[in-house]
Amino acid sequence: MSTNPLLEIRFRIPFDRIEAAQVEPATDELLADAARRLHATTASEQPLQALDTMTERLDYGLGIVRHLESVATTPALRAAYNAVQPKASAFYSSIPLNEALWKAIQRYAATEEGRSLTGTAKRFLTKTVDSFKRHGADLDPAGKARLKEIDVALSEVTTKFSENVLDATNAWELVVTEEAKLPGLPPAAMAMARASAESKNVAGWRFTLQGPSYLAVMTYLDDARVREQMWRAYNTRAASGAHDNRPLVVRILELRNEKARLLGFRDFSDLVLEDRMAHSGERAQNFLDDLRKKTEPRFREENQELETFAGQKLEPWDIAYWSEKQRAALYDFDEEALRPYFPLERVVAGMFEIFGRILGIRVAEEKDMPVWDPSVRTYSVYDAGSGAHLGSFYADWYPRENKRGGAWMDSLITGNPDQGHPHLGLICGNLTPPVDGKPALLTHREAETIFHEFGHLLHHLLSRVEVRSLAGTSVAWDFVELPSQIMENWCWEREALDLLARHWETGEPIPEDLFQKMKRAKTFRAANAQMRQLGFGFVDLAMHRQWAPSSEKASEDVIAFSRRVLQQFSASTLPDDYAMIAGFTHLFASPVAYGAGYYSYKWAEVLDADAFTRFRREGVFSENVGRDYRDKILARGDSEDPADLYRSFMGRDPDPRALLERAGLSR
């Protein structure tokens, strides 16, 4: 058995020895082990510690499999992963429903020791108790049975919702056979439409409601009638006929509301946000109200300016098109001009130098850690003062056919560096690869992506939280993007850019005029971008807080209700059949999804912009602020309420002014 590398936690993971055939036997053994530990925990007099480590081996083994499925998949590995996935998730979701475990935790909480806990241990106990309660641990048998029915129904209805969106999206196409009818579209969009037609064996150019095709038409196509046709199709998706989501939205809202009330909450937003930084739907709503007030004046101006520029009244399908024309007229700036200044090696080396200085760490490349692909690089992070090994990580930057899209960070081992156990993690991306003998030359946005994921990674590697479940990035959803997004700020600072952005041939820094253009273009129509996000946040909270199915408002059509809310955030008048929420998978494609949580995007932006003002004020390379940031935020994981952590770093609550200033919206 010891020959199966998934069974034994090892810092030096033998990625060169892991095979698909090991996945099922390892998972079965790890699940049996976790079940044994769970049983022992229920009899334990100190169940907290046992609870924290109960699934450590299982997390490790499954984490490696999940990771390999993302970066080095094979048909055999995918099959093995799909075979074990349901068993594993059934086990994990059974934990907070285990009555014997709940009794053991309650017994412990009532003891002298349980009642006198302090600090992180106390928080762990409180969070555990709250989580069990939110899973229905305190309900009577009838309540428990009803909760189970609601959860089953929610999972069925939300699955159907997302199938409907997919089917409705795929059911629509527009095939154009004459090139003359497509003026304005750039060559890349034409080529994409041509390839799409060929894949369906039709002549001409084929357009769909998939993001890239839809956005290219809305942004560039000169013919407003085609844009209108496509815009209407997109915004009435899954709102009629065979894939009608309208009754499902109502059902999902009803079920979520019933669940929240059954568990003793006012509404679904309070249930979901109890454990987040905002804590309640009302706080989240106040936050959005405030930002909206501060964004609206500039929003109106921008829309006036756009209509003046276009010389006509604009319909919803005109906005993206005329914005692009206005952008091109106002700014003589091409993102591509920056590429030669962002060779990947230099960006990464510059980033290590910047945060080495600020945070008091040293990053060194490792040469002998086994990897899953020869292009993967490995590094270790040391404390610059004590020399202690804090953690190691893998960096996998380029696309491959056996790797999924996007960029992400993941943890492999949560250690305890203070006791000689370093953390282990990874960062992945799908960045522009090297071509034609040149180094990989990135866009500015890609450089920001590297900084973003490195920020998540540092949150993990610099953690000093002793309770595993509260360590590193295991923080509230509306707090987790602070450590990542704050990093992107350095990509806009001249002194920092000079360290990471150098022309790959001449070594020259970015010319000042190019830098100024890049900064100016950043704030173009920023109020519209912000209002769009705020609108989604508003409609999300409005549906989950106000549109109570039990009230007389239930007779009101939820589609019309949401259209009225969204109209206030739209640059033009929305038509009567506008039904964007019928395709809003973010909110409705799974039992919780982003439901009542959409505000988090803006919330996190406020935190990162505001927290960065300390660096702005005291120096973007300030070791003093860096030390504080490392000790009070990065090292602390979820060991305290994030609002308290934030206050301990900033000396006050978050202030949205920095975000408005960064977006060019302060006045």
Kindly state the number of chain residues that form the binding site for Zn ion, as judged by CB under 5 A: 1
User: What span, in angstroms and rounded, lies between the C-alpha atoms of 535 and 565?
Assistant: 7
Angle between helices 119-134 and 99-110 (to 10 degrees): 140
Question: What dihedral angle (degrees, nearest 10) is formed by the CA atoms of 67, 70, 74, 79?
Answer: 80
Residue 50 C-alpha from the chain's centroid: 30
Given the complex with Zn ion, which of 158 and 484 has the nearer CB atom?
Answer: 484
Tell which residue, 248, 253, 245, has the closest CA to residue 157.
248
Identify whether 661 is a catalytic site residue.
no
CB of 390 to Zn ion, least distance (A): 21
- Residue 219 CA to residue 186 CA, distance in Å, equals 10
Q: DSSP letters of 371-389?
A: -SSTT-EEEEEEETTT--E
One-letter identity of residue 45: E
For the segment 556-585, give every residue that binds Zn ion (CB under 5 A): none
Hey, which residues between 580 and 609 contact Zn ion (CB under 5 A)? none
Measure the CA–CA gap between 410 and 427, rounded to whole angstroms.
Answer: 7
What distance in Å separates the CA atoms of residue 105 and residue 38, rounded to the nearest whole number?
12
Using the contact rule CB under 5 A, the part of the chain among 288-296, 484-492, 493-501, 554-562 near Zn ion is 484-492
CB of 455 to Zn ion, least distance (A): 8
Q: Which stretch binds Zn ion (CB under 5 A): 34-42, 388-396, 481-489, 592-600?
A: 481-489
Strand 389-396 and strand 377-383: the pairing is antiparallel
With H, G, I as helix, E, B as strand and everything else as coil, classify residue 392: strand
Please say whether the beta carbons of 485 and 604 come within 8 A.
yes
Two tokens, residue 103: 């009794």
**Alpha-carbon span 475 to 452, nearest angstrom:** 17
SS3 361: strand
First to last CA, the chain: 67
Residues of this chain, 376-405, that bind Zn ion according to CB under 5 A: none
Least distance in angstroms from the C-beta of 603 to Zn ion: 14
Residue 38 vs 482, nearer CB to Zn ion:
482
Q: What is the CA radius of gyration of the chain?
A: 26
Q: For residues 604 and 654, is the Cβ–Cβ distance under 8 A?
A: no
Residue nearest to Zn ion (CB): 484
Give the number of C-alpha atoms closer than 13 A to the C-alpha of residue 42, restricted to the C-beta side: 14
Instruction: Please work out, in degrees rounded to the nearest 5, the angle formed at the alpha carbon of residue 475 by the alpha carbons of 473 and 479.
Output: 100
* Among residues 484, 489, 562, 570, the one that binds Zn ion under rule CB under 5 A: 484
3-state SS assignment for residue 363: strand
* Rounded Cα distance, 420 and 370, in Å: 21
Strand partners, 502: 509
* Closest C-alpha to 535, from 497, 580, 589, 484: 580
C-beta of 479 vs 569, nearer to Zn ion: 479
Beta bridge partners of 423: 391
Q: How far is the CB of 112 from Zn ion (least distance, A)?
A: 42
Nearest in space to 359 (alpha carbons), one of 501, 502, 455, 219: 455
d(CA 147, CA 256): 10
Cβ-based neighbours of 432, under 8 Å, separated by 6 or more? 339, 440, 441, 442, 443, 446
Given the residues 69, 453, 488, 640, select the one marked as catalytic: 453
Q: Binding string, 236-265, against Zn ion, x = CB under 5 A?
A: ------------------------------
CB of 408 to Zn ion, least distance (A): 8
Catalytic residue annotation: 453
Residues that bind Zn ion (CB under 5 A): 484
